Structure 1
Amino acid sequence: METIELEEDILRTLLIVEDDASFAKALRRSFERRGYEVHACAGLEEMRELLQTLDPDYAVVDLKLATGSGLECVKELHEADEETRIVVLTGFASIATAVEAIKLGACHYLAKPSNTDDIEAAFDRTEGDTSIAPTVRTTSIKNLEWERIHETLVETNFNISETARRLGMHRRTLARKLEKKRVP
């Protein structure tokens, strides 16, 4: 009598940390269709509760959360399990936050809009790509200013008053600049 062995499906667990409920719902559905067991939360405190009983293989973390920075989520996810593949999504991409996200344990950093294909490809990337050519475009003064503002915001955990103090500008001036270009 011949024994038939069925290949066991490996269930991949995914944690989505996203405070935009409709976007989180769309991501959840898309990943569930791809065979992931998906858990979602809107911020750091909910994530901490989930991590008491969940050890996700993958995580998608929004950089700008209503209750703070997704960078803290990345840090805690990485501390909980270094094997978790973490992708940071943001509508407010900057060099400073990209560098910090990778330093804190993210495997990739994607600007929104990114779809499920982009995110899944980012999970699978384990090596850097040396074929990417450096840009020859010079950085404008406005972009340099924005990068410095954003870098300081990250350093101060997005405290506007402290950021303005460190940059030597009035808090209202900084607030006006931030209204023109949204920050995480």
Structure 2
Amino acid sequence: MTETAGPPGPDPSLIIVDDDKPFLQRLARAMELRGFAVETADTVAEGMRKVAERPPAYAVVDMRLEDGNGLDVIEQIRRRRPDSRTIVLTGYGNIATAVTAVKLGAVDYLAKPADADEVFAALTRDPTEKAVPPENPMSADRVRWEHIQRVYELCERNVSETARRLNMHRRTLQRILAKRAPR
């Protein structure tokens, strides 16, 4: 696929909703180079407002945003424009969330960090085609580590509270947190 290939169809409107501003800017630029007319938002509220003003043909929405859940934006897109092709990006993937996103109308679910080629492929894939398995999926150890880090952050970096919620010994958790992330 060439970098100048455009989106299919007459409406190339795309909204990208992500609170990681450097990633948001890079992805927006890459999608513009591929022919999309890009709008960006870094909060759920801003994403909802822009979707209400002009429902896009395509959307890339981060699952967890500072002011809420990206699923709210996906739900509004589905209500305002049922034919929109939406994909979900997240650093905290799990099966339940993926199922919810698909039920709300997302056509794909990509783990961060996703590159522009993966996003473009997901947005423009023929709906009857199955998604291609990732070349380098996260290892089970990495998925476990990511989950522990997420809970640790949600517990405001409180080791005792995190250990309690994960049902593990505090010292075991401390050893895990002291190590580097697995590949």
Instruction: Please state which band the TM-score falls in when normalised by the shorter chain.
Output: 0.5 to 0.7
4+ runs deviating over 6 angstroms: none
Using the alignment, how far apart are the partners of 1:34 and 1:130 within structure 2? 20
Contact 1:63 1:89 in 2 (8 A): yes
- In the alignment, the residues of structure 2 paired with residue 18 and residue 131 of structure 1 have an alpha-carbon distance, to the nearest angstrom, of 24
Q: Deviations over 1:105-142 (max 9, x none)?
A: 1011011111111111111231253997xxxxxx99x9
TM-score, length basis structure 1: 0.66
Q: Which amino acid aligns with 1:109?
A: Y
- CA deviation after TM superposition for structure 1 residue 174, in Å: 2.0
Question: CA contact under 8 A between 2:52 and 2:80: conserved in structure 1?
Answer: no
Could you tell me which runs of 5 or more consecutive residues in structure 1 were left unpaired when the two chains were aligned. 1-8, 133-138, 154-158, 161-169
Tell me if 1:94 matches 2:97: no
* Counterpart for residue 60 of structure 1: 60
Q: Give the drift of 1:10.
A: 4.1
Distance 1:130 1:29 in 2: 24
CA RMSD of superposed structures (Å): 3.4
Q: Does 1:85 align with 2:94?
A: no
Q: Residues 31-180 of structure 1: matches in 2 within 5 Å? A: 31-125=31-125, 126-127=127-128, 129=130, 173-174=164-165
Which protein has the larger Cα radius of gyration, Structure 1 or Structure 2?
A: 1
CA distance in 2, matches of 1:99, 1:93: 11
Q: Is the Cα–Cα contact under 8 Å of residues 61 and 86 in structure 2 kept in the other structure?
A: yes
TM-score by length of 2: 0.66
Q: Is the Cα contact below 8 Å between 1:61 and 1:88 reproduced in 2? A: yes
Contact kept in structure 2, 1:77 and 1:84, CA below 8 Å:
yes
User: What code does the residue aligned with 2:20 have?
Assistant: D
Give the corresponding residue for 1:5. Answer: none
Instruction: List runs of 5+ in structure 2 lacking aligned partners.
Output: 1-8, 134-139, 156-160, 169-173, 178-183
Q: Hey, what's the Cα distance between the residues in 1 that align with 2:131 and 2:117?
A: 22
2 CA distance for matches of 1:92 and 1:42? 18
**Residue 131 and residue 28 in structure 1: after superposition, are their counterparts in 2 closer, same or farther (change >3 A)?**
closer
